[in-house]
A = this chain, B = another copy of it.
Amino acid sequence: MSFSSLLTARWKEADSLLCVGLDPDPHRLTHHYSPDADGIEYFCIDIIDATAQYACAFKPQIAYFAAARAEAQLERICEYIRSNYPTIPIILDAKRGDIGDTATMYAHEAFDRYGAHAVTVNPYMGGDTIEPYLVHPKGAAIVLCRTSNAGSGEFQSQLIDGKPLYQHVAQRAADEWSNKGEVALVVGATYPAELAEVRAIVGDMPLLVPGVGAQGGSPEDVVKNGANSHGTGLIVNSSRAILYADSVDPMPAAARVARETRDALRAAR
């Protein structure tokens, strides 16, 4: 199944817009887990089991695995999700961006090695560097548009022909890239007005929205500004607020925060 069909079915099945981000920092794990690659694996498996019923997607952030020499562990985590929760799509958050031949290698890594259904990519190098992800038979590209960090406006908000750069990216995604394969966009919850502008440009396209939880974005604002014509269209990510909800007994707390975040997103519809 394609990313979009899997996602659409999961939005309905779970009645949830919440994406659980897997950003396992070995120094923030409780004493149940060793602060290394193996501890990361067991922690992520436990988080997945604790939160799956509330999730429309899982999003492993590859930097945390790369820094801990945990690529084999990430492979097993993705395999665990596909085997045990086959209706939940996996988004590999890798923010790839490189020229054609190299991008083809990154697409192979994301979709064949890790078995992800979508990968985040950076548009700075242009549409020809996004195409290898779109044409891969198994994958989808989720393109950075307006990111959640404080400094994201430094280039993304600069005006080109009277419109900010991120709106040009959104327009290109809607008009061109979506003709070549499955595409979605990243827009931070920390910029709700921009989220509404992007939604107006891209129709019903899925939007991956980081920045609720630890980064402070409001679930209500996200849904009011970002939902599509079906009341879905959103993959609202929370990572740290769920993973590190309790420093003594993390899993019940992770489940509780995931359920509460899902419910806050539901209530805003």
Is A1 an interface residue when CB atoms closer than 8 A count as contact? Answer: no
| Contact of A126 with B102 at beta-carbon distance under 8 Å, contacts A95-B97, A109-B66 already known | no
Q: Are A125 and B144 in contact (CB under 8 A)?
A: yes
Which has the most chain B C-beta neighbours within 10 Å: A126, A152, A160?
A126
In chain B, what residue has the closest Cβ to A70?
A: B71
Q: Hey, which chain B residues are within 8 Å of A25, CB to CB?
A: 101, 105
Interface residues on A, range: 35 or more
CB neighbours (8 Å) of A61 from chain B are 98, 102
Residue of B nearest to A23 (CB): B102
Chain copies in complex: 2
Please name all residues of chain B whose beta carbon is closer than 8 Å to the beta carbon of A100 when the two chains form the complex: 149
In the complex, whether A69 has a CB less than 8 A from a CB of chain B is yes
The minimal Cβ–Cβ distance linking A163 to chain B, given in whole angstroms, is 10
Are B102 and A124 closer than 8 Å at their CB atoms? no
Instruction: Pick the 6 closest A-B CB pairs, nearest first.
Output: A126-B151, A128-B151, A126-B154, A63-B105, A67-B105, A124-B124
| Residue positions of A touching B, CB distance < 8 A | 23, 25, 61, 63-64, 66-67, 69, 71, 95-103, 105-106, 108-109, 113, 122-129, 144, 147-156, 158-161, 165, 168-169, 172
Q: Provide a sorted-by-A list of 13 A–B residue pairs whose CB atoms are within 8 angstroms.
A: A25-B105, A63-B103, A64-B102, A66-B109, A67-B108, A67-B109, A69-B113, A97-B122, A99-B149, A124-B147, A127-B154, A128-B150, A155-B165
